[in-house]
Structure 1
């Protein structure tokens, strides 16, 4: 539990009762409290530690929630949550039924805009500021806190470009720590570094050229300097830009020294910072590592292979290839749209391009998928990591829409591997040359094959495009699954009292569907159950239903998947249970009276 000054702060009104001289003590208490809770409950650590002083200063100087504060992405908002009425609830952070790990409008009036994806804060805060002008409330302040990785994204520049020709009372704070989840990359990062080092003349300041009142850079851990500058900026009208320098993981030595590892370190010793060891030697591999190691192995043999990721080299495990072939593996920063069209450009020149983007972030490049890739039928290989339910990150990060939003695009092949061997085989098949683009979706977390040797032996199988497989025969009910959720189907089959009733088919290919096999299934079984870890509307089950309608089949058809609602945060097992696609949910569907 909190003690000292922090224990008496239920909201920013309490914070503002403190003298400035007390704020360094509060900063230390807030930092210690975050470390204490996250060490036990896990979560995003380094980003929130890096903005403790800024968080206190913003709520101390500005009249929140009347003044509107937007945190870009939201990884760094733990201190904000604690100071805005959620001190006692913070131990429930990211747990089922607890508070969200990201700002969320329905959770608090202080969370003025829901965030989870990057680079939206400037546009959102500008929209608020322009609305305030229209309502005659020009004295209200609007603040967007943006990291140096997020501000390099196209959307952030779109917001800056617009804001510079308005009279909006907008303050953009650049929290410059030279890292997002992985180290920041690109020419803008180099420019910001030169500004920090005093190498860039003030008259050449690119932010000033966009008509912002620029100030900084200043030390983001000097709370007195922050307060003084924020008080000065309050008196200036129009768009303003404050450049602050911070250290991600500030106040915890190991987090400062290992910023990538301590972005979300898991459980650790709060006294020493040492991450608690896990014996993972006996566990199956992570799907991301299957991707990373397979791509590296294939790239050694095929010099045309290129890897691309938007700011997720460690999260996607593309780092394996980047370490060996740095000229053929690209981290393009938080720029999903650019990543997709860059891949398309490379594909026109005969390169074999693996573009690895988290499923939830691929949503940000939808037009590029359609216009730049599929319309031109370019054989880009999209690897959609974190497909399905991702757990504690919640609604902003679940990769549950990709089947539905990809299935309607002409020329697009969609494949979901049942296990890690199927993943490596489709990666191998794709690099041999396809006639169309392909999206390969696979989940966060580990596979199911503990003795995983096939990758290292370098033995691959060329998969037949559009072919599904019967894994088990049955008498009256067919289970059709796609992707790794089939593991739950296998477990349900192993504990049902009447296993002889149930057939099981693995539909790795969601598009094109194996219609030959579907005709056989609908002709043989009275009842069919589809299972997917994606939204029901427009998903795999919908594709099967469309097939049935087009061919005038009237078999009983039940579709299991993610319902038409945004699924909140919790463990993956808990969320699968809510959606009815855990082992128990599948078993219940199998043994329901409809199948009796």
Structure 2
């Protein structure tokens, strides 16, 4: 039965509660609906934060997708998922935007738990075409020839290695009816780079491109385009033609990032790609910053290090400004290389640079280094190449959720032979450790920094073979050695003070600075205490605590090691302080963990205790 449009006093957007209603809407009402959607997005995202620019550019295209295809019967896969806000609005989640990216609220990415319309929720780039390939194969095996598979991919993500691999497979299978919609706005976080971006520009501005030979037709696709992505009728018409082809098709759609919101459209640095709470009319933050961020402090430190070390060059995978490379780019533009959203290529390209003489620094989000783990192991570490990785957004990142928490790096990188990993506790140590890293020539080095404001410096009260002692309690023998990783030194210090003053438990807080491999100085420190507690904002399995426990065991140190960290689970979105508290990694949580561990110790022989942390 056809869905009818309710005759109520609600706004047009409120009346379009599902895609079925949208398909009954007269075409002449679509421009008005698009305007309502843009006003809604600006109001909600500016108030609570989220991805603004990408979604403002997706309005008419998403309307056309849901009018031509019948989700969820037809599969719509968005790459990257941060461009799916309009899709969420049109699939019954308008009220959820009041809780966008808030704890327990609407996710900022597609979420299978939220809606049957969300098939894929991984927000890492360049994956949609491979998902679509597999979905189309599955439907062919099931004999379902009347269900479409549509992958919407941005021009930035299209340059990733997986996207090329999927195009290679899809184009060679003319019987596989996958529609690839290229949302081409000329930007990812910044203007898209590379030969493919130049080729898309030729197609956009060359005129009569639909009939010409291009990279997509050479790979076996039928090509439609370029199409005005802000003309819903035109997009609908082309999508209908693409669906009727029953074969691999590329629909090249031109859009404007930030469409309809002047601050977003004219933002030269893409600061309005993803925002916190901002003033809608200016795009400026409404809250005063609590201090410089770790990323900005790293950026200035790197520019200084590059001046002091002429061999230092920097590599980024399509995220020059978000990873702090702006200052170095301004001072040494010829020494900064943006390879686009292609993490595997970025790492092995850095290996090539190191082989040729420079010292490359790869600036990358911690969560995205997962994608290039093989390259770190086989292309860098196996060759003992001096490549420095700076992992931004390490640990809990906050509102972006499970795909963006940088919680896997410590467990993964702890296995890599010859790799040294540092976790600065403050920005003073960041500068010192960065200088040490770029001066190291015997293998790869890693620095991990969080997504947060940089706190005040924490000075050591003593130093022992590279380990900084930050706190020395009273009592002999001392009870607990706390070994925090990076910025968790602050809650560890607070916990040590409470344990000493309120519970009479003498603590030492020791910052190894270089946390992997284990500093041998920790062996003697551990032997002088009754209990060792490691604290890290990475998954506790296989991380720094595991390495420290193994080190002590191998050397006959009988002091038990209790590892605290994040649970082996996919953590939901929420603020960094909230999620650290839930995992027991704030000062009160550390106090509870130590009291629990010492109670078990005093009750009998030392036994391994479960790691702290709770999944949401």
Shorter-chain TM-score category?
over 0.9
Structure 1 residues 559 and 82: CA distance shift in structure 2, 3 A: same
Structure 1 residues 328 and 135: CA distance shift in structure 2, 3 A: same
Q: Does 1:485 align with 2:488?
A: yes
Give the drift of 1:555. 2.8
Structure 1 residues 523 and 302: CA distance shift in structure 2, 3 A: closer
**Match of residue 565, structure 1, among 558, 566, 569:** 569
Q: Secondary structure at the match of 1:333?
A: coil
* Contact 2:386–2:442 (Cα < 8 Å) also in 1: yes
Q: Secondary structure at the match of 2:589?
A: helix
Residue in structure 1 matched with residue 610 of structure 2 by the alignment? none
Q: Does 1:157 align with 2:147?
A: no
Deviates more, 1:304-313 or 1:474-483: 474-483
Question: What is the TM-score with the length of structure 1 in the denominator?
Answer: 0.94
Q: State the distance in 2 between where 1:353 and 1:421 align.
A: 22
Residue in structure 2 matched with residue 455 of structure 1 by the alignment? none
Root mean square deviation, CA, Å: 2.1
Q: Secondary structure at the match of 2:333?
A: coil
Residue in structure 1 matched with residue 27 of structure 2 by the alignment? 20
Q: State the distance in 1 between where 2:316 and 2:283 align.
A: 29
Give the drift of 1:493. 3.1
Q: Secondary structure at the match of 1:314?
A: coil
Q: Does 1:264 align with 2:263?
A: no
Give the drift of 1:557. 2.9
* Contact 1:284–1:449 (Cα < 8 Å) also in 2: no
Give the drift of 1:445. 1.7
* Contact 1:530–1:559 (Cα < 8 Å) also in 2: yes
Residues 306-325 of structure 1 correspond to what in structure 2 (within 5 A)?
Answer: 306-325=313-332
Give the drift of 1:590. 2.9
Q: Does 1:175 align with 2:152?
A: no
* Contact 1:71–1:115 (Cα < 8 Å) also in 2: no
Q: Does 1:254 align with 2:254?
A: no
Give the drift of 1:27. 1.2
Residue in structure 1 matched with residue 420 of structure 2 by the alignment? 413
Q: Does 1:41 align with 2:58?
A: no
* Contact 1:493–1:499 (Cα < 8 Å) also in 2: no
Residue in structure 1 matched with residue 468 of structure 2 by the alignment? 469
Q: Secondary structure at the match of 1:86?
A: coil
* Contact 1:45–1:262 (Cα < 8 Å) also in 2: yes
* Contact 2:46–2:279 (Cα < 8 Å) also in 1: yes
Residues 110-259 of structure 1 correspond to what in structure 2 (within 5 A)?
Answer: 110-166=117-173, 167-198=175-206, 202-258=211-267
Q: Secondary structure at the match of 2:334?
A: coil
Structure 1 residues 84 and 465: CA distance shift in structure 2, 3 A: farther
Q: State the distance in 2 between where 1:117 and 1:132 align.
A: 24
* Contact 1:73–1:118 (Cα < 8 Å) also in 2: yes
Q: Secondary structure at the match of 1:356?
A: strand
Q: State the distance in 2 between where 1:343 and 1:145 align.
A: 30
Give the drift of 1:510. 2.0
Residue in structure 2 matched with residue 104 of structure 1 by the alignment? 111
Q: Secondary structure at the match of 1:172?
A: strand
**Match of residue 537, structure 1, among 530, 536, 541:** 541
Give the drift of 1:358. 0.9
**Match of residue 338, structure 2, among 323, 331, 337:** 331
Structure 1 residues 254 and 365: CA distance shift in structure 2, 3 A: same
Q: Secondary structure at the match of 1:117?
A: coil
Q: Secondary structure at the match of 2:51?
A: coil
Q: State the distance in 2 between where 1:265 and 1:440 align.
A: 26
Q: State the distance in 2 between where 1:386 and 1:466 align.
A: 29
* Contact 2:264–2:283 (Cα < 8 Å) also in 1: no
Q: State the distance in 1 between where 2:509 and 2:429 align.
A: 17
* Contact 1:149–1:184 (Cα < 8 Å) also in 2: yes
Give the drift of 1:490. 2.1
* Contact 2:16–2:90 (Cα < 8 Å) also in 1: yes
In structure 1, list runs of 5 or more residues that go unmatched: 453-463
Q: State the distance in 2 between where 1:284 and 1:257 align.
A: 26
Q: Does 1:294 align with 2:298?
A: no
Q: State the distance in 2 between where 1:200 and 1:338 align.
A: 34
Q: State the distance in 2 between where 1:290 and 1:571 align.
A: 21
* Contact 2:480–2:505 (Cα < 8 Å) also in 1: no
Question: What is the TM-score with the length of structure 2 in the denominator?
Answer: 0.91
Give the drift of 1:277. 4.5
Q: State the distance in 2 between where 1:287 and 1:547 align.
A: 31
* Contact 2:256–2:265 (Cα < 8 Å) also in 1: yes
Q: State the distance in 1 between where 2:311 and 2:503 align.
A: 51
Q: Secondary structure at the match of 1:104?
A: coil
* Contact 2:294–2:450 (Cα < 8 Å) also in 1: yes
Residue in structure 2 matched with residue 81 of structure 1 by the alignment? 88
Structure 1 residues 593 and 544: CA distance shift in structure 2, 3 A: closer
Give the drift of 1:400. 0.5
Q: State the distance in 1 between where 2:566 and 2:44 align.
A: 31
Structure 1 residues 232 and 203: CA distance shift in structure 2, 3 A: closer
Q: Secondary structure at the match of 1:197?
A: helix
In structure 2, list runs of 5 or more residues that go unmatched: 1-8, 603-616
Residue in structure 1 matched with residue 510 of structure 2 by the alignment? 505
Give the drift of 1:415. 1.1
Q: State the distance in 1 between where 2:465 and 2:62 align.
A: 52
Q: State the distance in 2 between where 1:543 and 1:8 align.
A: 57
Q: State the distance in 1 between where 2:359 and 2:145 align.
A: 53
For residues 461-492 of structure 1, give each alpha carbon's deviation from its aligned partner in whole angstroms, at most 9, with x where no partner exists: xxx99832222223211111111111221233
**Match of residue 422, structure 1, among 421, 429, 438:** 429
For residues 528-555 of structure 1, give each alpha carbon's deviation from its aligned partner in whole angstroms, at most 9, with x where no partner exists: 2110010100001111121232234443
Q: State the distance in 2 between where 1:545 and 1:590 align.
A: 16
Give the drift of 1:98. 1.2
Residue in structure 1 matched with residue 598 of structure 2 by the alignment? 594
